Amino acid sequence: MIIYNVTSNIDDSIHDKWLAWIKEHIPHVLATGHFTEAKLSKVLVEEQGGAVTYSVQYRAKSREALESYYRDDADKLRDEAIKLFGDKVLAFRTELEVIDEYSVRID
């Protein structure tokens, strides 16, 4: 299993607009059919100048699904953010391979 992680540093001046947008954007990414789920998380670190950092982790169906996303959908979806927010959002992407998963049952 592959996790496609997008970490974004958001300038305080557009934070509220970006947060509303990303909550609408994630379902569009999932609608491409390449991912099974997504999690939006706030990174708990104090940034200089009031910026806020978020992580979106998309769980890809397979390596092939992620490659298809890159080939067929990624540029279009990334361009939308660039047009809306320009240099007020600094994003970087990482790929994670899930080796094993553990959970605790909470009653």
pLDDT at 47: 73
Q: What is the CATH number of the domain that holds 84?
A: 3.30.70.100
Q: Does any domain span residue 48?
A: yes
Across 1-107, where does the E strand assignment appear? 2-10, 35-42, 52-60, 89-97
pLDDT confidence of residue 45: 86
Mean pLDDT along residues 91-95: 96
Mean pLDDT of 64-69: 97
pLDDT at 41 over 90: yes
Alpha-carbon distance of 94 to 12, in angstroms, equals 24
Count of structural domains, the chain: 1
Whether the pLDDT of residue 46 is over 80: the answer is no
The mean per-residue pLDDT over the stretch 76-98 comes to 94
Q: Is residue 78 part of a domain?
A: yes
